[in-house]
Amino acid sequence: MILILIISSGSQSKFVCQDQNKKSYTYFDKAKVIAKEVGDQVLFMNSLTNTAILLFEENKFKEAIKIYEDAFLIAEKIEDTVLIAKNHGNIGNVYEKMGDLKKLVKN
């Protein structure tokens, strides 16, 4: 399956579009390190979200939810209502894919 990430750029998007998830994980991990070094919480959260997208596409739903929840906490911490809403939607999408309608409605 080909996955296109809107919030990614450069080589990250290239590798994801080519479905080379291992390389994508490496680049997202590097982005997280850089984001921590420069104190950019939005970049860190976006890297988490990108990682969760890959996990979702690999049907690793529990891992994806955990990472989306971490991203959600960052969005809450920086009080970005748009990112809070996006992460709610992302978590809901995973629960929908899992068929867990009770948790889907909760989120």
Whole-number percent of the chain with pLDDT over 90: 49
pLDDT at 6 over 80: no
pLDDT at 1 over 50: no
Whole-number percent of the chain with pLDDT over 70: 76
Higher confidence at residue 2 or residue 43?
43
Q: In the numeric block, which tokens belong to residue 24? A: 């994508």
Reported as a pLDDT band with limits 50, 70 and 90, residue 38 is very high
The predicted pLDDT at position 99 comes to: 86
The predicted pLDDT at position 11 comes to: 47
64 Cβ partners below 8 Å, 6+ apart?
A: 52, 53, 55, 56, 94
Summary mean pLDDT of the chain: 81
Mean pLDDT, range 45-51, rounded to an integer = 92
* Short-list 80, 81, 89, CA closest to 52: 89
Q: Which residue has the tokens 């080519």?
A: 18
81 Cβ partners below 8 Å, 6+ apart?
A: none
| DSSP-derived secondary structure letter, 6 | S
pTM of the model as a whole: 0.75
Q: Please report, as a single letter, which amino acid is at residue 28.
A: F
Reported as a pLDDT band with limits 50, 70 and 90, residue 105 is low
